[in-house]
Amino acid sequence: MAIEIRNGTVIAWNGTRHEVIDPGVVVFEGSKIIFVGSAYDGNSDEIIDASGRLVIPGLINSHLHVTDTPYTQGYLEDIGDRDPAGSATNLVSLYKVLPEVRHATDPEAQVAAAECAFAELARTGSTTVVELGYDGEIGGDGDIAITEQVADVAGRIGLRCYSGPRYRTRHYGQNSDGTIFYKDYPDRGRRRFEACIEFCEQWNGRFGDRLRTMLAPGQIDTCDAELLRDTRRTADELHLPIQLHAGQSKNEFQRIGATENRTTVEYLEGCGLLGPDFIIGHGQIISGDGDASSMAAHEIVALRDSQTTICHLPWVKARRGNVINSIQKYKDLGIRQCLGTDTFPFDLFNDMRMAAVVCKIVEKAADAAPSEDVFAMATTGGADALGRPDLGRLAPGCRADIVMVRIDTPKAAPVYDPFKFLVLSATGEDIDRVIVDGHTIVQTGEVQTLDVPAAVRRLNDASKRVWARLDL
């Protein structure tokens, strides 16, 4: 059955970049787009009137955590440390509060959190999400079962999801005197690694191929070289993408230097991880001062020529007193980039705006991080990082992942430049309809595939249990 979306302003893919067709037409049949242009002369079985709407490709949220985020909300804000230079180090939030909240979160609470998080992701236009489950110190290997339940939630809601439970050699925490400790697992994470591989093999391709799996080693300072080399070998054997948390803190960068006698990029390259299927999640401090310009020439070449992708998470960093200052620099250096929300709110429009504005401020240049480039990070940037030329684009042959954004409101009108509206003005509240693989999962701004009020009640009940266990 051919379904035609007409009368909207279409953000189409011309093979090189997004372009505006106004008015435009998008036609899809089943899960595939079959036509994008200004007029369609074929037969349509159903017409969707997109008057007063932007028709855009589904957004790709390339880095997030859904199982514990609601329980950190309200704890991680407005806390942290300051170093003598006045910049937040966030040792308290990253190394103390976050692990303690995760320890207090039971399996039922994690699934309740995932329901609400995925509902919010769908409602705000993220059609593809990369969910990086957390590490195995909570219940050992038992949380693989939780990863399975969470993946099932994403599948039932109708999202396209990449899922990978994390594994690592050691875990970290904060001592009472404020210092950071690292403690190896008895088997250096090998049993957990094997369990994650088994999950990837068994769950890849479920829900009509909307669920795909990936390898997700934990923070770079918690993974030894052997584990990372085995990750690359396994990814090559199973044809899986990899995402690793790296560049989160000065402490992390300093530890890699102390233990490996290398920079972050040198360590990644030495372990064989760099490549077009590899995503660095965070990537804020992969040089000593967090500035891409401070990387050595051979590090820049290694990232660029390997086609490694940096996944920026602007909002979570900004609210902790840090900024992503390298978006324009990375682009100028030819290094691939994408966007994610990491935690709350799960509204990628918020992170697009933060990415653009913060970059302009730190670069002291109004033309830094132009809106069209930032929008590309949230669409084709994420798609390319996942090896999916059929995502993040409205073009024949691509998946029918389509979002309709209202522009018939006082807030939007008049829309001279759709990219500037999407990046600098729009929010998830402007979403009207969301289609994934040809199926409508959000209509008139409401999720159609989940009883949202009931899910919210479950989350509120779970939060009482979690917060009762905490003494922060």
In a domain, 467, yes or no: no
Any bridge partners for residue 211, and if so which? Answer: 161
Is 161 contained in some domain?
yes
Q: Which two tokens stand for residue 328?
A: 């324009």
CATH number assigned to the domain comprising residue 51: 2.30.40.10
Helix, strand, coil percent values for the chain (each to nearest 5): 40, 25, 35
Question: What gap in Å lies between CA 177 and CA 77, rounded to an integer?
Answer: 21
Answer with the one of 385, 408, 428 that is the final residue of a domain: 385
> For position 330, which CATH number holds?
3.20.20.140
pLDDT on residue 139: 42
**402 in any annotated domain:** yes
Burial class (CB in 10 A: 0-12, 13-18, 19+), 14: exposed
Contact 250, 95 (CB under 8 A): no
Give yes or no: residues 172 and 23 share one domain.
no
- Tokens 């435009």 belong to residue: 24
| pTM, to two decimals | 0.94
One-letter amino acid for residue 457 of the chain: R
Tell me phi and psi for residue 203, to 5 degrees. Answer: -105, -15
The two beta strands, 160-163 and 446-447, are unpaired
Residues 440 and 345 in one domain: no
Question: What's the confidence (pLDDT) of residue 69?
Answer: 78
Domain encompassing residue 154: 59-385
Evaluate whether residue 380 is within a structural domain. yes
- Specify whether 53 is located in the same domain as 94: no
Q: Are residues 143 and 211 in the same domain?
A: yes
Is the distance from CB of 394 to CB of 12 less than 8 angstroms? yes
- Are 403 and 391 in contact, with CB atoms under 8 Å apart? no
Residue 112 covered by a domain: yes
What is the distance between the alpha carbons of residues 347 and 426, in angstroms, rounded to a whole number? 10
Domain boundary among 385, 405, 432: 385
Residues 36 and 63 in one domain: no
Residue 116 lies inside a defined structural domain of this protein: yes
Asked if residue 176 and residue 283 are part of one domain, the reply reads yes
- Residues 124/86, Cβ–Cβ less than 8 Å: no
* Domain co-membership, 227 together with 135: yes
Instruction: Please name which of 441, 462, 435, 465 lies closest in space to residue 3, comparing C-alpha atoms.
Output: 435
Structure tokens at 285: 């401090």
Q: Give residue for tokens 């965070």.
A: 282
33-42: long-range contacts, CB 8 A cutoff, minimum separation 24: 33/394, 33/395, 33/396, 33/397, 33/398, 33/399, 33/400, 33/402, 34/2, 34/396, 35/396, 36/10, 36/12, 36/394, 36/395, 36/396, 37/12, 40/4, 40/6, 42/2
Residues sharing a CB contact under 8 Å with residue 394, sequence separation 6 or more, in sequence order = 10, 11, 12, 13, 26, 33, 36, 55, 56, 57, 402
How far apart (Å, rounded) are the C-alpha atoms in residues 399 and 129? 15
CB-CB contact of 196 with 240 (8 Å) = no
Residues 75 and 89 in one domain: yes
52 and 67, same domain (yes or no): no
CB-neighbour burial class of residue 44 (10 A; exposed 0-12, middle 13-18, buried 19+):
middle
319 DSSP 8-state letter = T
Nearest to 381 by CA among 303, 276, 291, 306: 276
- The pLDDT, as a whole number, for residue 53 is 98
- In 3D space, the residue among 105, 92, 91 whose CA is nearest the CA of residue 133 turns out to be 105
**Do 324 and 225 share a structural domain?**
yes
Residue 464 lies in a domain: no
Measured between alpha carbons, how far is 321 from 81 in angstroms, rounded to an integer? Answer: 10
What confidence score (pLDDT) does residue 198 get?
Answer: 95
In the chain, the number of structural domains is 2
pLDDT tens string, the chain, 472 residues long: the values are 999 999 999 999 999 999 999 999 999 999 999 999 999 999 999 999 999 999 999 999 999 999 887 787 876 677 665 554 444 455 666 667 777 777 788 889 999 999 999 999 999 999 999 999 876 554 444 578 889 999 999 999 999 999 998 999 998 887 877 788 889 988 888 999 999 999 999 999 999 999 999 999 989 999 999 999 999 999 999 999 999 999 888 888 999 999 999 999 999 999 999 999 999 999 888 887 777 888 999 999 999 999 999 999 999 888 877 777 678 999 999 999 999 999 889 999 999 999 999 999 989 999 999 999 999 999 999 999 999 999 999 999 999 999 999 999 999 999 999 999 999 999 999 999 999 999 999 999 999 999 999 999 999 999 999 888 887 6
* Same domain flag for 175 and 255: yes
Pick from 385, 402, 437: which residue ends a domain?
385
* 226 occurs within a structural domain: yes
Q: Both 266 and 403 in a single domain?
A: no
